Amino acid sequence: MLKNRLFNLLIAIALVIVVALTVEEAFATTIITSQPDAVPECNRLPSRLSIHTEIVKETGTRLSYTESGPTGVDGGLQELLNAYRSCSR
């Protein structure tokens, strides 16, 4: 009888934890989607077809460029590709 009550208690605790995590994720999603700046302006992004690399003669390195200019060195291309992904939704 004690094992049965202990098992039921563990199931109830697990259920409470799952519900709490679900509510937390739903609340976080609501906060993110309600922000107007969360999604970039898709019509201002350069064309995906314009992404290319060029060799910088001064440093001998390759940098990624678009029709608007360089994408940046510290994560600029990654940020641009993430913006494309959020615009395709």
Which residue range forms the structural domain that includes residue 46?
42-89
Say if residue 50 is in the same domain as residue 33. no
Say if residue 30 is in the same domain as residue 59. no
Number of domains in the chain: 2
Say if residue 1 is in the same domain as residue 31. yes
Higher per-residue confidence, 66 vs 9: 9
Higher per-residue confidence, 49 vs 37: 49
Say if residue 88 is in the same domain as residue 49. yes
Say if residue 87 is in the same domain as residue 49. yes
Say if residue 4 is in the same domain as residue 31. yes
Say if residue 57 is in the same domain as residue 24. no
Q: Model pTM?
A: 0.43
Say if residue 54 is in the same domain as residue 78. yes
Mean pLDDT on 43-51: 79
Beta strands across the sheet bearing 69-70:
52-56, 61-66, 69-70
Say if residue 25 is in the same domain as residue 54. no
Say if residue 84 is in the same domain as residue 47. yes
Model pLDDT for residues 1-46, shown as the tens digit of each residue: 788 999 999 999 999 999 999 999 988 877 766 666 545 577 777 7
